A and B are shown apart, each in its own frame.
Chain A
Amino acid sequence: GAVVSQHPSWVICKSGTSVKIECRSLDFQATTMFWYRQFPKQSLMLMATSNEGSKATYEQGVEKDKFLINHASLTLSTLTVTSAHPEDSSFYICSARGAPQRTDTQYFGPGTRLTVL
């Protein structure tokens, strides 16, 4: 149980294009979802938190207009990197926390590796 999936697992895009990453909780309802970013040899950095049906809360320094987050249902959240540039190349990881029996544990997806050319 407590499986979180991401799609795609990797993506390569041209500079200036937008990329959408999907995050799904497969066997539980995720009332809260989180998006993290990880650069090589660094730890994961939290980008934003979203509750189902509400606007996402972004961490300081994360551009909300560049990283669009939608949490439209209890099993799906999407992250859209708009007008991607090479510096946005990173490993993007989502996490979900559910209800009712798993309210205290975040489960993580396998990650999406984005390369912007």
Chain B
Amino acid sequence: EPEVTQTPSHQVTQMGQEVILRCVPISNHLYFYWYRQILGQKVEFLVSFYNNEISEKSEIFDDQFSVERPDGSNFTLKIRSTKLEDSAMYFCASSEGVGRKILNEQFFGPGTRLTVL
């Protein structure tokens, strides 16, 4: 069964450093998302991406964050200058679409645990 994959599974970084989290969405999916989950809390939406541009973003997704689809398979989340409060589990998700119509089901990857020291 196709699945969303994410690398690395765990990333430890120093405060102020840049990190890039990588995702490979399901191959025929057109819509891509990043969510985060601070330990013990709910899953929070960060950003959605379609047709090589951001379609929606939350207040969390400030200028320190960026997303990119550098090739036909990868989808990345970059945090430019990490803060302690960026420590969380980051999940990538993808969903199918037909043209601009999204088919609702979002499939999540296993996550990257980001620890900022």
Q: Do A and B come from the same complex?
A: no
Partner-B contacts on A (CB < 8 A): none
